[in-house]
């Protein structure tokens, strides 16, 4: 146990007490002097109204109504508020935000170079064509009236799918075109009524409605990148997604079953297509999180042949502005029939 030190006796006020009183008095005097100076300064800086009266001489509300706007309010209102359009006009490089915001740099998806984008998209296109080559064959198949409506949905305004299948000695080329368009449409954020797989929480507030507005394009690009980050950070319902993908795969397989390769069973064919569509959806979300707008380029089908894989273009520059000179990453692949 600690022992208490003996208290020395003193006749009167000790030297330490005197020093403490002196210091306390000095501090108190300094505080009073500071307070008085502050009051004098506030009175000297206090603005007057147009009538010469101080705004504080009566109710602030009455002064503001009868003598004109409060000068304090007027001064604040003259400061322009930041807006999305003003921020969008700044020459900000959307591909490198490391120096603009540590927070954004930490959460935005990493920017991929053109080669990486090209390789990922090319790999998907190769997988789609390989699926058709493995699970379908070039045979003449009879098309019943009940099949015509489903097959017609895979055609274009220029050439119908029925004509492509019946008028070619290689129907698998038409099936490649159909599967490519189908997979890209159902996994795209801009597929309109055909969008069934791309997550709605990522698309959000308007898609390409903002893309055509120069002031909003950079803001929209930042928005969609953050949307991809939030979607990736939150675990979605994987089972529901898989169920939707499986339904889409079965729909395509049933539509083109007359040309199916009997070497493989239906389950093997469907599972391969499920994996393919899942990969396409992941790629579509990944592209959506990049600081550019990408577009697939379909040439005129039936003019030089059939497009089995579209081209890929980059429609915006690094600052989010629409680029009139579209940068082509992939050329369309057209097969003569």
Q: What is the pLDDT of residues 197-222, one digit of tens each?
A: 998 888 876 555 555 565 667 788 88
Q: Any idea what the Cα angle at residue 271 is, between residues 267 and 272, rounded to 5°? A: 120
Instruction: Tell me how far apart the alpha carbons of residues 54 and 163 are, in angstroms, rounded to a whole number.
Output: 87
DSSP designation for 136: B
CA–CA gap between residue 160 and residue 151 (Å, rounded): 9
With a cut of 70, list the residues of the chain below it in pLDDT.
1-103, 105, 157-159, 191-195, 205-216, 235-236, 300-304, 337
pLDDT of the residue at 252: 97
Buried/exposed code over 157-181 (b: 16+ C-beta within 10 A; e: otherwise): eebbbbebbeebeebbbbbbbbbbb
Structure tokens at 168: 């070619």
**Mutual angle of helices 145-152 and 238-255, in 10-degree steps:** 130
Distances from the Cα of 26 to the Cα of 15, 23, 29, angstroms: 17, 5, 5
Residues in the chain: 337
> Which residues lie closer than 8 Å to 3 by C-beta, 6 or more apart?
none
Contact at 8 Å (CB) between 217 and 321? Answer: yes
**In angstroms, rounded to a whole number, what is the distance separating the alpha carbons of residues 148 and 161?**
9
Instruction: Please report the pLDDT score of residue 329 as a whole number.
Output: 95
Cα–Cα distance measured from residue 142 to residue 221, given in angstroms and rounded to the nearest whole number: 48
pTM of the predicted protein model = 0.69
pLDDT at 285: 94
Q: Helix, strand, or coil here: 296?
A: strand
pLDDT at 266: 93
pLDDT at 41: 47
- The pLDDT tens digits for 150-184 are 999 887 766 689 988 988 889 999 999 999 999 99
């Amino acid at each position: 146990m600690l022992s208490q030190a003996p208290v020395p006796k003193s006749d009167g006020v000790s030297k330490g007490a005197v020093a403490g009183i002196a210091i306390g008095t000095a501090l108190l005097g300094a505080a009073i002097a500071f307070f008085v100076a502050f009051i004098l300064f506030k009175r000297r800086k206090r603005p007057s109204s147009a009538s010469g009266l101080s705004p504080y001489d009566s109710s602030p509300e009455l002064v503001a109504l009868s003598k004109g706007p409060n000068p304090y309010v007027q001064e604040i209102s003259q400061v322009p508020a930041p807006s999305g359009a003003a921020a969008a006009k700044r020459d900000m490089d959307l591909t490198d935000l490391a120096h603009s915001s540590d927070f954004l740099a930490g959460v935005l998806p990493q920017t991929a170079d053109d080669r990486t984008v090209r390789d990922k998209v090319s790999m998907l296109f190769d997988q789609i064509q390989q699926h058709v080559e493995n699970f379908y064959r070039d045979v003449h198949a009879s098309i019943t009236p009940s099949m015509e409506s489903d097959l017609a949905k895979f055609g274009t305004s220029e050439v119908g799918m029925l004509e492509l299948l019946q008028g070619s000695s290689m129907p698998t080329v038409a099936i490649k075109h159909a599967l490519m368009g189908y997979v890209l449409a159902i996994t795209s954020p801009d597929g309109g009524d055909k969008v069934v797989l791309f997550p709605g929480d990522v698309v959000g507030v308007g898609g390409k409605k903002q893309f055509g507005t120069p002031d909003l394009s950079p803001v929209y690009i930042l928005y969609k990148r953050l949307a991809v980050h939030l979607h990736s950070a939150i675990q979605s319902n994987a089972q529901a997604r898989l169920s939707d993908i499986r339904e889409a795969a079965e729909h395509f397989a049933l539509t083109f079953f007359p040309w199916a390769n009997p070497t493989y069973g239906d389950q093997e064919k469907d599972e391969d297509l499920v994996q393919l569509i899942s990969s396409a959806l992941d790629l579509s979300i990944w592209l959506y999180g990049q600081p550019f707008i990408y577009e697939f380029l379909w040439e005129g089908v039936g003019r030089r042949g059939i497009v089995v894989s579209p081209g890929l273009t980059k429609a915006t520059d690094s600052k989010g502005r629409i680029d009139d000179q579209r940068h082509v990453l992939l050329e369309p692949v057209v097969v003569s029939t």
